[in-house]
Amino acid sequence: MKIILLGPPGAGKGTQAKVLAEKLGLPHISTGDILRQNVSGNTPLGKQAQDFMNRGALVPDELVTQMLSERINQSDTQRGFILDGYPRNISQAEALDNMLKKSGPDLVIYLDTSEPVIIQRLSGRLVCSVCSENFHIKNMPPKVDMACDKCGGKLYQRNDDNPQTIKKRLEVYLKESSPVVQYYNQKGSLYRLSADGDAEMVLNKIIELTKEPNDSHKV
């Protein structure tokens, strides 16, 4: 099953994708996570991407699309994957169609989220420096202060989770990424879920969709 999660920054794509990937036994592919690994490993790609990411801008398509295509062609994706963070503009959506050829995505889920919720989530988000699990100072606090529940890794606040960059990322989302929602809607493969509720509630709705896509959620 090939699942794409769409939605603004803070919609909970990463949080949901990680749990879903475990439940369904599919790899979680997050372009943001792969880019951040490249930045912390100081790779040539990381060096090129870093500046764009810190500004809240999109990393150029050529770099991200090449990176994703290499990831999708690895053997663990044969049964499918959960994709989060890509496509982020129409040209990436077209590139993904080409990569997947005839067997397009099975499920495209749009996690619809309101702006106050987005800002509250992003400004309190903590990320594990080892396994990239997400936490939140208030909504999902770690059991031990600043340590990952899963692996004990040190938690940090992302560079781009500051008020100024959050604002910029929301602008970029509205301008570049929200048309992607329309793109899949026109193809008739889009499901919309309200993602303002807590993580478990949203997860349950997603799981229902993966079992039996229900036309009532169709946009």
Binding site for Zn ion (CB under 5 A): 128, 130-131, 133, 148, 150-151, 153
What is the distance in angstroms between the CA of the first residue and the CA of the last residue of the chain? 21
Closest contact distance (angstroms) between CB of 136 and ligand ADP is: 13
Tell me if 120 contacts ligand ADP by CB under 6 A.
Answer: no
> Considering only residues 58-87, where is the footprint of ligand ADP by CB under 6 A?
58-59, 64, 85-86
- Options 4, 9, 184, 190; binder of ligand ADP; rule CB under 6 A: 9
Which value, to the nearest 10 degrees, does the dihedral of the CA atoms of residues 19, 186, 118, 121 take? 10
Binding to ligand ADP by CB under 6 A, coded x per residue (else -) over 136-165, reads ------------------------x-----
| 70-84 as b/e: b if 16+ CB within 10 A | ebbeeeeeeebbbbb
In angstroms, give the least distance from the CB of 84 to Zn ion: 17
Q: Which residues contact 53 (CB under 8 A, 6 or more apart)?
A: 35, 36, 39, 59, 159, 160
Q: Which two tokens stand for residue 187?
A: 């193809």
CA–CA distance, 1 with 138 (Å, rounded to integer):
33
Q: Which residues bind ligand ADP (CB under 6 A)?
A: 9, 31-32, 35, 52-53, 56-59, 64, 85-86, 88, 92, 160, 169
